[in-house]
Structure 1
Amino acid sequence: MALEDGVPRPVVVITDTEELDPAPGIRLLADAGWEVRVAGSRDPEAIGAVAHDADALIVGYARVDADLLDRVPKVRMLATMSAGYDMVDIAEAERRGLWVANLPGGATEDVAVHALAQALALTRRLPQADAVVRSGGWSGELREVPRRASELTLGLVGMGRIARTLARLAAPLFGGIAAHDPRATDWPEGVERLDLDTLVERADVLSLHIPSTPQTKGLVDAGLLSRMRPGSVLVNVSRGDLVDPVALLAALDGGHLAGAALDVFPVEPPAADDRLRSHPRLLLSPHSAFLSDASLRAYVTEPARNVIAWWATGRPHTPVVDPTSRNASRTTSRTASRTQGVLA
C-alpha cells in the first residue's frame, strides 16, 4: 500500500495490455483512490519489480503462477481482462486464498457475430469468390456452388454466453440449430440438444465454443473430422489448441471439409511458412473476434470496476474464485466439470 500525503492508497498493477489502451480503466481506478502502475510485460521478474507491494493485479496474457505470486506477496485480488482465465493457475490462487475475477460478457456479442460472419462467408464461398474476381475471372470460374443457409444445420459445441447469442442471431438464417453441452442448464428454445457424435455427424457448420482444458485440447482431431459431413465447414473462435492443425489440413486437402474459419491458432501468430496461413480453403482472422470499439473499452474498464468493488465491498462483481466461500473452488469446480462434460 502506497502513501500520498500520509494517507495510505491501495496499489494495483496492470501486467500487460497488448493492443488495449488502459487509460479509461486507469482513470476509474485513480478516481477511486488507487495508485495504478503498468508493468507492460508478461515477464514475471518485470511484473514483480513493479508490483512488489501491490494489493491487486489486472492481468492480460501474463501467466500468473506460483513463481509470479511469490514475487507479489501482498496481492489478494486478480482481475483478468478477458472472459477466459486460463492464464491464472487457479489451484494456486485458491491455495493462497486469492480472489479471481474475470470479464464474462465484455465481447460476447462481438465474438458471436464474428463466428456467424465466418460461417456465412464459408457457406456462401465468399473467400473463393473474392479470389476469382481479384484474379480477373468471373462467375463461370467459381469451382464450388454456394450453399443455401436455410437448408443447413448449424452445430454448436458448447452452450455458454457466446454460443447462446450465436444461436439467437443465427436462428432466422439456418434451417436448424443443434448443440452439445451436457452440463448446460440455460438451454435456448429452438436449439436441439444432441450428444457430441450425433452433432458432429449432422452439422453442416460446426462452431466451437468451449474453453481449452486438458480434456478439450485436441478435441477436433482426425477422428472427429472424419465423422463430419462431407462438404461441411468448421469455425473456431474459441482456443487454437482445440483443433489438431495437421488433421485439419489433411481434411481440407482431401476435400472432406469444404472449408474452415480460424480466429485462433495453436501458436499465435503462426509462423510465416505455416500452411494455415496459405491454405485456400481457410478463412483467417488474427485472434480479433473479440474486437470492437465497445469491447476495447470494456476490457479495461470492467476489470478496474472489479478491483474497485473488491476493495470497497470485499467482493468483485464477477468472481470465479471466492476465498470467503466454505468451498472456495465451488465456481471453478463447476466450470471444470461442465467442460469435462463436453466430451461425455
Structure 2
Amino acid sequence: MQPEVVEALASRFRLHRLDQVADKEALLSEVGPHVRGLAVGAQTPVDAKIFDRLPRLEIVSNFGVGYDTIDAKEAGRRGIIVTNTPDVLTDEVADLALGLLLSTVRQIPQADRYLRAGKWPTKPYPLTSTLRERKVGILGLGRIGHAIARRLQGFDVAIHYHGRSRQSDVAYAYHATLLDLARAVDVLMVVAPGGAGTEGMVNAEVLAALGPDGIVINVARGTVIDEPALIDALRSGTIHSAGLDVFAKEPQVPQELIDVERAVLLPHVGSASVHTRRAMGRLVVDNLVSWFDGKGPLTPVAETPWSRRA
C-alpha cells in the first residue's frame, strides 16, 4: 500500500500492519477476532482460511480492479462485502494497452535497442509489421475493453469482440466463442478478468487460429493465457508476436519468453502512474470510510452486491 493510503487509514481506524510483522500468525491470533475491515493489495490472497481467522470481518477493500485472488463468492456467502477500484484506472490501462500494441507491431523497443547498440550506421532497421488493414479482437468488452475500443477507432481498424453475451449498444462485430473471434482477427487484445473461469482460455488452438501474422496483447491477468502454449507459438512462428504486461507467476517471467525477440514484455505497469495509483488508493480508503460511516460500499464487486438499507 502507498504511504498516503496507510496514513489515511491510520488517521481514521485502528490499523494493524500484517505486512510488516515477522510473525503473522501471532498478530492474526491477537487481533483477528476484532478486525472488521481489511485493505489488501491487488495480489494478496484472501480466502476462507483468512475469513475463519477474522470472524467479525465486514468488508475487504481491494487495491486494484482485478480481484481474482479474493474468494468473493465465499465472502458473499458469509455476508462480507468485497470492493475494488474500477473506473479510476480504466483510461490508464487502456492507454498502456495501445502503447503496448504499437510497441509490439512496430517493434519500438527493439528499434531502440538497435540504435543504442550502434547498428544504425551499418544498415537501416528492418521493416516491421503494421496496424494497417488489421482486424482487432477484444476478449472482454468491459470498462477497459470499451476504452481500448474507443482508442482503436482512431486507428481505423476493424473491431471485433467476444464476451459472455452480445452487447446490444455497440456496433462492433460479436463472436459467440473465443475461437471464432481468433479466426476472424489477427490481433487479440486480452482484457478478460482472471480466475478459474478464464484460466488458460487463450490456448494453443486459439493461438493457431490467429495465424502467422497474429499478435497477442495481454493487459489483464497472465493466467488467462496458456503461457507454455504461447511460448511454443512464438518459437514456432504459429503467431507473429506478443505484447505482455502480465504473467502467470509474477514477478517471475519465463526465460523462454525473455529470449523471444518478437515479444515486448512489461513488468505489470498498466495502472502504474502516480496519478492513477493515488486515485486507486483514495478509493480503497473511501470504500472503508463509507462503509463504517454507515453509507454502504462505493464500489462493491458483483459477487457481493449491496442494497442500501433504510
Is the contact made by 1:164 and 1:188 (CA closer than 8 Å) also made in structure 2? no
- State the distance in 1 between where 2:306 and 2:131 align: 49
Asked if 1:170 is matched to 2:152, the reply is: yes
Match of 2:28 among 48, 52, 75: 48
Shift in Å at residue 80 of structure 1?
0.8
Q: 1:224 to 1:311 in 2, by over 3 A?
A: same
- State the distance in 2 between where 1:269 and 1:197 align: 29
**Aligned letter for 1:293?**
V
Shift in Å at residue 87 of structure 1?
1.8
Is the contact made by 1:157 and 1:208 (CA closer than 8 Å) also made in structure 2? yes
Deviation per CA, 1:142-172: give whole Å up to 9, x if none: 44x2234232122111100111001111211
**Aligned letter for 2:15?**
V
The answer for unaligned runs of 5 or more in structure 1 is 1-16, 326-344
Asked if 1:37 is matched to 2:16, the reply is: yes
Is the contact made by 1:201 and 1:228 (CA closer than 8 Å) also made in structure 2? yes
RMSD over aligned Cα atoms: 2.5
Is the contact made by 2:101 and 2:243 (CA closer than 8 Å) also made in structure 1? yes
Shift in Å at residue 188 of structure 1?
3.6
- State the distance in 2 between where 1:323 and 1:119 align: 35
Is the contact made by 2:187 and 2:210 (CA closer than 8 Å) also made in structure 1? no
Shift in Å at residue 30 of structure 1?
5.1
Moved more, 208-217 or 316-325: 316-325
For residue 40 of structure 1, give the secondary structure of its aligned residue in structure 2. Answer: helix
Structure-1 residue corresponding to 2:220: 238
- State the distance in 1 between where 2:98 and 2:143 align: 14
- State the distance in 2 between where 1:49 and 1:184 align: 48
- State the distance in 1 between where 2:76 and 2:24 align: 19
Asked if 1:93 is matched to 2:72, the reply is: no
- State the distance in 2 between where 1:160 and 1:47 align: 39
Structure number with higher strand proportion = 1
Moved more, 72-81 or 35-44: 35-44
- State the distance in 2 between where 1:248 and 1:95 align: 37
1:185-200 correspondence to structure 2 within 5 Å: 185=167, 187-189=169-171, 191-195=172-176, 196-200=178-182
- State the distance in 2 between where 1:292 and 1:46 align: 36
**Aligned letter for 1:274?**
Q
- State the distance in 2 between where 1:159 and 1:194 align: 12
**TM-score normalized with structure 1 length:** 0.79
1:107-118 correspondence to structure 2 within 5 Å: 107-118=89-100
1:328-339 correspondence to structure 2 within 5 Å: none
- State the distance in 1 between where 2:91 and 2:27 align: 32
Is the contact made by 1:41 and 1:62 (CA closer than 8 Å) also made in structure 2? no
Q: 1:188 to 1:136 in 2, by over 3 A?
A: same
Q: 1:184 to 1:64 in 2, by over 3 A?
A: farther
Shift in Å at residue 261 of structure 1?
0.8
Q: 1:233 to 1:240 in 2, by over 3 A?
A: same
Is the contact made by 1:203 and 1:229 (CA closer than 8 Å) also made in structure 2? no
Structure-2 residue corresponding to 1:8: none
Structure-2 residue corresponding to 1:78: 60
Asked if 1:128 is matched to 2:107, the reply is: no
- State the distance in 1 between where 2:86 and 2:7 align: 20
Aligned length: 301
- State the distance in 2 between where 1:244 and 1:74 align: 39
Structure-2 residue corresponding to 1:329: none
Shift in Å at residue 132 of structure 1?
2.7
**Aligned letter for 2:65?**
A
Match of 2:247 among 265, 271, 274: 265
- State the distance in 2 between where 1:47 and 1:242 align: 35
- State the distance in 2 between where 1:164 and 1:50 align: 46
Structure-2 residue corresponding to 1:10: none
Asked if 1:157 is matched to 2:139, the reply is: yes
The answer for unaligned runs of 5 or more in structure 2 is none
Q: 1:71 to 1:133 in 2, by over 3 A?
A: same
Match of 2:229 among 224, 247, 256: 247
- State the distance in 2 between where 1:151 and 1:232 align: 13
Q: 1:58 to 1:172 in 2, by over 3 A?
A: same
